[in-house]
């Protein structure tokens, strides 16, 4: 493990005098512009922008700027993902050794009361994740109505696609989504096999899960992507069990929001399939739905909460007006930033400036030019840490609570003046952002309810 | 609330400044006013960012924000002062 071991204080400091002077000048111009309300990023509120539309520095585009080679890209079998295949890369000896390490660091944390990994931290983690254990197709993730829709004698809800989109978005935000977007369902992002079953599209009236197949009706042509913000205060404690509580709570909320939204759509008289991590690739689906851009980590960066969100989706046949993908300078900023890769305890992320077609293993789906992740290395770090890590989320300059317009101004500057990106990435370190906080202090402060401290 | 309090402070400060300029028969050039305004906006921005950082539990950020803010304020208001009085701020401190 390098730069970001458990005991380390976080990102390195160090900005040259030249950078500092350049930055002071930039900040002068920015602060003047911001305070005058004419900054590139100025919006009505520094808080949640999703309810009021996206900030002005976010551009809608017809075509998302990631290169895709359709001759190489085929629907992906989720059984090739890192969770199933990393052990093959490690070999039996290392696999056994990593299990032993994981168990011993977990026990050590609890028995020695290590901050962030003690008994109360583990309890918080497991409590938070309680709802996530609803398996695909079951409980909140049920593929059929939880309460059979009442027959009012009026048939399914009727309205324009715009009205349908408005209803769905209002309901999704009401149920707890941070932001919501709609797109035509691109079948390239639907797994070919998932949970050991073939995923097929057939001309059937209702979705059904059989012994060997999951059948999605042909008429299901829309997807609703949901971003669920995670607790910033807990992610700031990564890579401990406390940050795993943030992700666990995000998983519980995914089931809650997607499950409730699917039931809402069914009660309108349409088919709805709520999905967590199952069924399809959440990142490209969320990109299609205009929720954010992909970053160096291969994860979605949203304008509002950066990468500090979990993603869920609902597939449906309800015809809705669709959203366009958005850009706000993320890929260009990632070329210069590299903080996630530099701090990754597992060396799992690419340090190359440019994205690449070259995959690192069977856990990457070929045919897209992105920064490819090494899932086996990431999971190895998880075993060694005894937690779900999240350091790459913690240190990302986009991971900011929206309590000051400073962040809005900075994100607006990244989007509109990319020449300042290198400076902004260094300044983020210099200001001390992304440093791991004290886990025990979290218990003393009564944080905002429902884990929504950045919301 | 923050902007309400700042609004009152800026208004009172502005009135005091105009009074002082009149008493000393000083008429700043338009570009001195521009520099003054940039300094003022910068100060407001830094105050807003510092209060926000406190809410974000990023107390460590505040010291650096203030450092940058004070430098910018010193440069802009210092230059505005000099352009208006023809003197460096330090020499005129007791005047
Ligand atoms: C398996 C998995 C993992 C595994 C293995 C990944 C792998 N490649 O096998 C491991 C353990 C590494 C992992 C780690 C993490 N993951 Co993960 N992961 C998944 C999961 C369940 C499946 C993804 C998959 O099938 N990958 C296999 C192939 C497709 O991977 P790939 O080719 O390398 O493609 C990746 C990206 O390039 C992108 N992607 C895929 N296709 C396309 C197409 C285009 C055009 C683009 C631009 C991107 C893109 O998504 C893939 C994510 O693995 C998804 C949920 C989902 N259904 O999408 C969550 C998910 C992607 N992970 C998530 C997160 C947050 C993390 C972690 C930060 C863990 C944490 N503590 O929260 C780390 C980050 C690691 C990193 N790289 O930075 C979130 C991302 C949220 C976001 N903001 O985007 C998701 C959506 C889960 C969720 N519930 O929200 N993950
Ligand atoms: S979650 Fe994985 S990719 Fe992210 S910092 Fe940790 S080990 Fe690295
Ligand atoms: S840490 Fe930097 S390089 Fe990594 S995803 Fe965030 S912005 Fe991109």
C-beta separation of A245 from A256 below 8 A: no
Q: Is residue A7 part of a domain?
A: no
Q: What tens digit of pLDDT does each residue of A405-441 get?
A: 999 999 999 999 999 999 999 999 999 999 999 999 9
Q: What angle do CA A392, A396, A397 make, to 5 degrees?
A: 170
H/E run at residue A439: helix A439-444
Q: Is residue B93 part of a domain?
A: no
Looking at every residue in chain A, the average pLDDT score rounds to 90
> Is 70 exceeded by the pLDDT of residue A323?
yes
Q: How far is A378 from chain B (nearest CA, A)?
A: 28
CB contact under 8 A, B55 and A400: no
CB contact under 8 A, B56 and A445: no
Q: Which residue of B has its CA nearest to A442?
A: B57
Q: How confident is the model at residue A19 (pLDDT cuts 50, 70, 90)?
A: very low
> Strand order of the sheet with strand A193-194?
A193-194, A197-202, A213-217, A208-209
> Is 90 exceeded by the pLDDT of residue B36?
yes
A371, A366, A364, A375: which is closest to A330 by C-alpha? A371
- d(Cα A274, Cα A255) in Å, to the nearest integer? 8
DSSP output for chain B: -HHHHHHHHHHHHHHHHHHHHHHTT----HHHHHHHHHHHHHHHHHHHHHHHHHHTT-HHHHHHHHHHHHHHHHHHHHHHHHHHHSS-TTTTTT-
Strand partners, A213: A198
- d(Cα A173, Cα A168) in Å, to the nearest integer? 9
> Is 80 exceeded by the pLDDT of residue A135?
no
Q: What tens digit of pLDDT does each residue of B51-70 get?
A: 999 999 898 899 999 999 99
Q: Is residue B9 part of a domain?
A: yes
Q: Is residue B44 part of a domain?
A: yes
Q: Is residue B78 part of a domain?
A: yes
- d(Cα A398, Cα A149) in Å, to the nearest integer? 42
Query: Is A359 touching ligand 1 by the criterion CB < 6 Å?
Result: no
Q: What is the pLDDT of residue A149?
A: 86
Q: What is the mean pLDDT of residues A376-390?
A: 98
> Is 70 exceeded by the pLDDT of residue A399?
yes
Q: How confident is the model at residue B90 (pLDDT cuts 50, 70, 90)?
A: low
Q: What is the pLDDT of residue A37?
A: 41
- d(Cα B32, Cα B84) in Å, to the nearest integer? 7
Q: How far is the CA of A317 from the centre of ligand 3 (A)?
A: 36
Radius of gyration of chain B (CA): 15
Q: What tens digit of pLDDT does each residue of A201-219 get?
A: 999 999 999 999 999 999 9
Point out the residue among A34, A401, A432 whose CB comes nearest to the CB of B45: A34
- d(Cα A443, Cα A156) in Å, to the nearest integer? 49
Q: What is the pLDDT of residue A34?
A: 45
Q: How far is CA A24 from CA A16, A191, B69, in A?
A: 12, 49, 9
Q: How confident is the model at residue A150 (pLDDT cuts 50, 70, 90)?
A: confident
In ligand 3, the atom with minimum distance to the C-alpha of A395 is: 1
Query: What's chain B's length in residues?
Result: 95
> Is 90 exceeded by the pLDDT of residue B92?
no
Query: Which of the listed residues A299, A309, A339 should we mutate to test ligand 3's pocket, taking the one with most ligand atoms within 8 A of CB?
Result: A339
- d(Cα A286, Cα A306) in Å, to the nearest integer? 13
CA A173, A176, A434, A287 torsion-angle sign:
negative
Q: What is the pLDDT of residue A32?
A: 45
Q: Is residue B39 part of a domain?
A: yes
Q: What is the mean pLDDT of residues A256-279?
A: 97
Q: Which domain holds residue A309?
A: 65-394
The percent of residues in chain A predicted with pLDDT above 90, rounded, is: 81
Q: How confident is the model at residue A452 (pLDDT cuts 50, 70, 90)?
A: confident
In this structure, what token pair is assigned to residue A84? 């199933």
C-beta separation of A249 from A451 below 8 A: yes
Question: Where do we find the tokens 């093959």?
Answer: A88
Which of helix, strand or coil describes residue A256?
helix
Q: What tens digit of pLDDT does each residue of A60-91 get?
A: 999 888 999 999 999 999 999 999 999 999 99
Q: Is residue A304 part of a domain?
A: yes
Q: How far is the CA of A341 from the centre of ligand 2 (A)?
A: 8
In this structure, what token pair is assigned to residue A139? 């409980």
- d(Cα A348, Cα A360) in Å, to the nearest integer? 10
Number of structural domains found in chain B:
1
Contact partners, residue A413, CB within 8 Å, separation at least 6? A26, A30, A40, A41, A420, A424
Query: Is A398 touching ligand 1 by the criterion CB < 6 Å?
Result: no
Q: How confident is the model at residue A314 (pLDDT cuts 50, 70, 90)?
A: very high
Q: How far is the CA of A194 from the centre of ligand 1 (A)?
A: 15
Q: How confident is the model at residue A5 (pLDDT cuts 50, 70, 90)?
A: very low
Residue A236 touches partner B, C-beta closer than 8 Å: yes
- d(Cα A423, Cα A336) in Å, to the nearest integer? 9
Q: How far is A401 from chain B (nearest CA, A)?
A: 6
Q: Please list the alpha-helical segments (H only) found in A112-203.
A: 119-128, 161-175
Q: Which residue of A has its CA nearest to B63?
A: A431
Q: Is residue B90 part of a domain?
A: no
> Is 80 exceeded by the pLDDT of residue A152?
yes
Query: Could you report the predicted ipTM of this complex, rounded to two decimals?
Result: 0.84
Q: How confident is the model at residue A8 (pLDDT cuts 50, 70, 90)?
A: very low
Q: Which domain holds residue B30?
A: 2-85
B48, B45, B56, B68: which is closest to A433 by C-alpha? B56
The percent of residues in chain A predicted with pLDDT above 70, rounded, is: 87
Q: What is the pLDDT of residue A49?
A: 39
> Strand order of the sheet with strand A309-316?
A179-184, A222-229, A309-316, A272-275
Q: How far is B8 from chain A (nearest CA, A)?
A: 16
Q: Is residue A162 part of a domain?
A: yes
Query: Is A424 touching ligand 3 by the criterion CB < 6 Å?
Result: no
Number of structural domains found in chain A:
1
In this structure, what token pair is assigned to residue A396? 């990302």
Contact partners, residue A280, CB within 8 Å, separation at least 6? A189, A190, A191, A223, A313, A315
Within 8 A of B42 by CB-CB distance, chain A residues are 27-28, 31-32, 35
Q: What is the pLDDT of residue A455?
A: 65
Q: How far is B38 from chain A (nearest CA, A)?
A: 5
- The most confident of the ranges A49-58, A108-117, B80-89 is A108-117
């Amino acid at each position: 493990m390098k730069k970001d071991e458990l005991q380390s204080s976080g990102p390195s400091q160090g900005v040259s005098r030249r950078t500092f002077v350049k930055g002071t000048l930039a900040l002068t111009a920015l602060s003047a512009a911001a305070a005058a309300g004419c900054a590139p990023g100025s919006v009505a509120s520094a808080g949640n922008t999703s309810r009021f539309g996206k900030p002005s520095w976010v551009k809608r585009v017809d075509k998302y700027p990631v290169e895709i080679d359709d001759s190489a890209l085929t629907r992906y079998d989720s059984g090739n993902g890192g969770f199933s295949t990393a052990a093959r890369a490690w070999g039996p000896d290392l696999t056994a050794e990593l299990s032993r390490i994981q168990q011993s660091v977990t026990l050590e944390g609890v028995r020695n009361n290590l901050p962030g990994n003690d008994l109360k931290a583990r309890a918080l983690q497991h409590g938070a994740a309680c709802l996530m254990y609803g398996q695909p197709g079951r409980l909140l993730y049920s593929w059929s109505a939880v309460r059979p829709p009442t027959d009012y004698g009026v048939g399914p809800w009727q309205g324009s696609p715009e009205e349908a989109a408005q209803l769905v978005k209002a309901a999704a935000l009401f149920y707890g989504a941070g932001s919501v977007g709609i797109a035509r369902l691109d079948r390239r992002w639907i797994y070919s096999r998932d949970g050991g079953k073939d995923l097929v599209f057939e001309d059937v009236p209702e979705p059904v899960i059989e012994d060997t197949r999951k059948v999605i009706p042909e008429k299901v042509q829309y997807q609703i992507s949901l971003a669920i913000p995670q607790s910033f205060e807990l992610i700031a404690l990564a890579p401990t069990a406390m940050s795993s509580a943030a992700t666990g709570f995000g998983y519980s909320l995914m089931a809650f929001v997607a499950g409730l939204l699917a039931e809402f759509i069914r009660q309108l008289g349409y088919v709805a399939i709520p999905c967590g991590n199952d069924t399809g690739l959440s990142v490209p689906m969320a990109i299609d739905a205009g929720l954010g851009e992909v970053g160096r980590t291969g994860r979605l960066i949203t304008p509002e909460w950066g990468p500090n969100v979990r993603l869920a989706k609902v597939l449906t046949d309800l015809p809705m007006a669709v959203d366009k993908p958005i850009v706000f300078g993320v890929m260009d900023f990632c070329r210069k930033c590299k903080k996630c890769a530099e701090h990754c305890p597992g060396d799992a992320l690419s340090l190359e400036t440019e994205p690449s077609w070259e995959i690192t293993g069977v856990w990457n789906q070929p045919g897209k030019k992105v920064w490819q992740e090494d899932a086996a290395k990431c999971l190895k770090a998880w075993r060694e840490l005894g937690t779900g890590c999240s350091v790459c989320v913690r240190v990302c300059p986009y991971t900011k609570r929206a309590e000051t317009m400073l962040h809005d101004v900075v994100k607006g500057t990244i989007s509109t003046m990319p020449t300042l990106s290198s400076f902004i990435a260094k300044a983020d370190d210099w200001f001390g952002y992304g440093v791991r906080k004290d886990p025990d202090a979290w218990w003393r402060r009564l944080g905002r309810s429902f884990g929504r401290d950045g919301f | 609330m923050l902007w309400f309090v700042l609004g009152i402070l800026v208004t009172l400060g502005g009135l005091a400044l105009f009074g002082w300029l009149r008493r000393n028969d000083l008429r700043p050039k338009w570009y001195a006013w521009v520099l003054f305004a940039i300094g003022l906006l910068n100060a407001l921005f830094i105050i807003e960012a510092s209060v926000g950082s406190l809410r974000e539990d990023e107390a460590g950020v505040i010291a650096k924000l203030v450092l940058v803010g004070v430098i910018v304020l010193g440069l802009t208001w210092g230059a505005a002062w000099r352009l208006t009085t023809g003197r460096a701020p330090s020499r005129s401190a007791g005047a």
